[in-house]
């Protein structure tokens, strides 16, 4: 399990292609360092994994929006940074099983939308997305225990049904209970996955009706990175629509 900040087999994303992607940073001795991903929901709120912010004071967090290449100063549009005023973790979050692994973060000041800072849609119904291609993005490790990239990475993975997901883990030697609040995505042969440092970031799918991207999942856990029969496991956002919309009113 990687209980912290995870894209393997991906490629550099194009600038501004995933404008809801956020770098969630935590204060470490003298500076804010990238820890996890997050996704922009509206001008005041972002969503991430609860395990990324568990027992971290909001004052130690910084959100960087519109970032692309961590090592590059000159980009077509700049980034914006926001401090976190409220951390609303799901009340049922279980750090042992990673169930209910969601947290909403409210900024002190609203962000200003620009071409590289745009929110992602929350699914409007309970579509299960099985067989559809999801895109996962982040600045997580390029392979297990490997380096962190400087440019945002993207990878395409198919959504698989939870029963198949459990049986894949079983064939890899792991007994995992994966209830419907999770959504799995990955290839049987492995090779493409999220990895440490990607946690909390978005897994998105393109809607047929209007071609907009919707947030199918938030990166939660996996065993290793991109191993065969060990798909990435994400928190299924459609299951938490009511909880999210309730808090977003504040």
Judgement on whether residues 96 and 41 belong to the same structural domain of the protein: yes
Percentage, residues of the chain above pLDDT 70: 97
Judgement on whether residues 213 and 157 belong to the same structural domain of the protein: yes
Judgement on whether residues 87 and 127 belong to the same structural domain of the protein: no
Q: Is 14 a domain residue?
A: no
- Token pair of 166 as six digits: 């459990």
- Token pair of 230 as six digits: 């060990």
* Tens of pLDDT, residues 7-33: 788 899 999 999 999 999 999 989 999
Number of domains in the chain: 2
- Looking at per-residue confidence, does 188 or 104 come out higher? 104
Judgement on whether residues 148 and 131 belong to the same structural domain of the protein: yes
* Tens of pLDDT, residues 161-201: 999 999 998 888 988 889 999 999 998 888 877 877 689 99
Per-residue confidence (pLDDT) for residue 2, from 0 to 100:
39
Tell me what the mean pLDDT of segment 33-51 comes to: 96
Residue 87 lies in domain? 21-119+242-248
Q: Is 196 a domain residue?
A: yes
CB under 8 A, 24+ apart: contacts of 173-176 = 174/223, 174/230, 176/233
Q: Could you list the active site residues?
A: 51, 101, 199
What is the distance between the alpha carbons of residues 154 and 178, in angstroms, rounded to a whole number? 25
**Residue 163: φ, ψ to 5°:** -65, -45
Q: Is 2 a domain residue?
A: no
- Looking at per-residue confidence, does 250 or 63 come out higher? 63
Q: Is 11 a domain residue?
A: no
The alpha carbon of residue 96 and the mean position of all alpha carbons in its chain are separated, in whole angstroms, by 19
pLDDT band at 3 (very low <50, low <70, confident <90, very high): very low
């Amino acid at each position: 399990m990687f209980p912290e900040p995870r894209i393997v087999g991906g490629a550099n994303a194009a600038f501004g292609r995933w404008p809801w992607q956020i770098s969630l940073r935590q204060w470490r001795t003298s500076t804010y360092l990238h820890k996890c991903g997050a996704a922009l929901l509206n001008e005041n709120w972002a969503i991430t994994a609860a395990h990324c912010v568990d027992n971290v004071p909001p004052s130690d967090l910084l959100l960087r929006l519109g970032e692309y290449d961590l090592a590059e100063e000159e980009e077509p549009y700049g980034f914006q940074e926001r401090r976190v005023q409220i951390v609303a973790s799901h009340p049922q979050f279980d750090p042992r099983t990673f169930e209910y692994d969601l947290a909403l973060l409210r900024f002190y000041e609203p962000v200003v939308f620009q071409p590289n800072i745009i929110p992602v849609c929350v699914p409007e119904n309970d579509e299960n997305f099985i067989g559809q291609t999801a895109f996962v993005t982040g600045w997580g490790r390029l392979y297990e225990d490997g380096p962190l990239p400087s440019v945002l990475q993207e990878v395409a993975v198919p959504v698989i049904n939870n029963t198949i997901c459990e049986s894949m883990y079983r064939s890899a030697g792991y007994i995992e209970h994966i209830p419907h609040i999770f959504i799995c995505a990955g290839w049987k042969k492995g090779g493409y996955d999220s990895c440490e440092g990607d946690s909390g970031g978005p897994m998105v799918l393109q809607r047929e009706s209007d071609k907009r991207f919707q947030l199918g999942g938030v990166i939660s856990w996996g065993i290793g990175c991109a191993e065969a029969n060990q798909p990435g496991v994400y928190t299924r956002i459609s299951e938490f629509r009511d909880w999210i919309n309730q808090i977003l009113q504040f």
